[in-house]
């Protein structure tokens, strides 16, 4: 019973307002990154441990996070291109469907569809740029091992335990940072989807209103006859007794008129 509200809330945050959800999720992940940076790690060895093999395995995980970062960056670039293309098409199409005689286009609900759809695209552009501008990447760099002092190089010695702890921490930090990037990219594509849906509905209503207006202008007589027929049928529905009375009394009046005319001709002959 309690899971349903949670699913609805999750759907609302991730699919209806995904851009704002990505900003909120970044704060949570940044707090976790700070926690990892401040934590001191120690290795507790259980049984025999091949440290060199473990280091090689950790380097593979490290490389996987690097590749994941590159994939997310490529998606962010692609989303920016989609947003720019969509806005260009929308602005170009608006000039073609603009019609002062169409009342449906100028109504507030229909205009809200267009405005909210464009806002989705703009927010998606913001989140895409945000994902692309997160440049943090944690690794063991040359400056961490070698330092220059008055023309002399001081090489820092790192034992295997310390090296394992550093690699592990860097992998965790890169994983959390990539999650931030991935959330922004997901929010970007979800916003693009929502924006395109709303703008598509707007164009469907707009084109339909233009067609309806042009059809009325091209067929004014047909529309007038249709309205007259509808009004007549409406009157019959509202006053059925009067119509029936007219139909029943009309023949009697005609018969009486004929009998009076026969009586008049008979008296004249006499």
Specify the range with the lowest mean pLDDT, choosing from 56-70, 132-146, 170-184: 132-146
Contacts of 42 (CB under 8 A, 6+ apart): 165
Domain ranges of the chain: 3-38+52-218, 223-269
Reported as a single tens digit per residue, the pLDDT across 19-41 is: 999 999 999 999 999 999 988 88
Q: Which residue intervals of 39-104 are DSSP H helices?
A: 51-97
Output the six-digit token pair for 116.
């909210």
150: left (phi over 0), alpha (psi -120 to 50) or beta: left
> What's the pLDDT score for residue 219?
66
| CB 164 within 8 Å of CB 51 | yes
Reported as a single tens digit per residue, the pLDDT across 208-265 is: 776 766 666 666 655 455 555 555 566 666 555 554 454 455 555 455 555 555 555 4
Q: Is 75 exposed, middle or buried (0-12, 13-18, 19+ CB in 10 A)?
A: buried
Confidence of residue 198 (pLDDT cuts 50, 70, 90): very high
Q: How large is the average pLDDT for residues 168-189? A: 94
> What's the pLDDT score for residue 124?
94
**pLDDT of 104 strictly over 90:** no
Write down the residue that tokens 């006859």 correspond to. Answer: 225
**pLDDT of 74 strictly over 90:** yes
């Amino acid at each position: 019973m309690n899971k349903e509200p949670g699913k609805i809330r999750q759907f609302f945050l991730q699919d209806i307002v995904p851009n704002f959800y990505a900003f909120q999720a970044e704060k949570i992940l940044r707090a976790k990154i700070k926690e990892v940076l401040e934590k001191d790690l120690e290795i507790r060895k259980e049984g025999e441990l091949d440290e060199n093999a473990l280091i090689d395995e950790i380097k593979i995980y490290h490389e996987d996070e690097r590749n994941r970062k590159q994939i997310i960056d490529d998606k962010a670039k692609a989303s920016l291109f989609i947003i720019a293309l969509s806005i260009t098409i929308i602005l170009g199409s608006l000039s073609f469907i603009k019609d002062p005689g169409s009342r449906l286009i100028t109504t507030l609900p229909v205009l809200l569809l267009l405005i909210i759809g464009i806002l989705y695209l703009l927010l998606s552009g913001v989140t895409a740029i945000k994902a692309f501008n997160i440049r943090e990447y944690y690794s063991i760099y040359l400056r961490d091992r070698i330092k220059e002092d008055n023309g002399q190089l001081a090489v820092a010695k790192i034992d295997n335990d310390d090296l394992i702890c550093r690699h592990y921490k860097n992998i965790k930090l890169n994983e959390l940072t990539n999650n931030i990037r991935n959330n922004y990219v997901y929010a970007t594509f979800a916003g693009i989807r929502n924006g395109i849906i709303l703008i598509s509905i707007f164009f469907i209503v707009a084109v339909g209103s233009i067609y309806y207006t042009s059809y009325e202008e091209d067929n004014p007589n047909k529309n007038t006859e249709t309205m007259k027929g509808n009004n007549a049928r409406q009157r019959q529905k509202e006053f059925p007794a009067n119509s029936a009375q007219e139909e029943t009394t009309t023949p009697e009046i005609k018969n009486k008129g004929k009998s009076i005319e026969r009586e008049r001709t008979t008296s004249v002959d006499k």
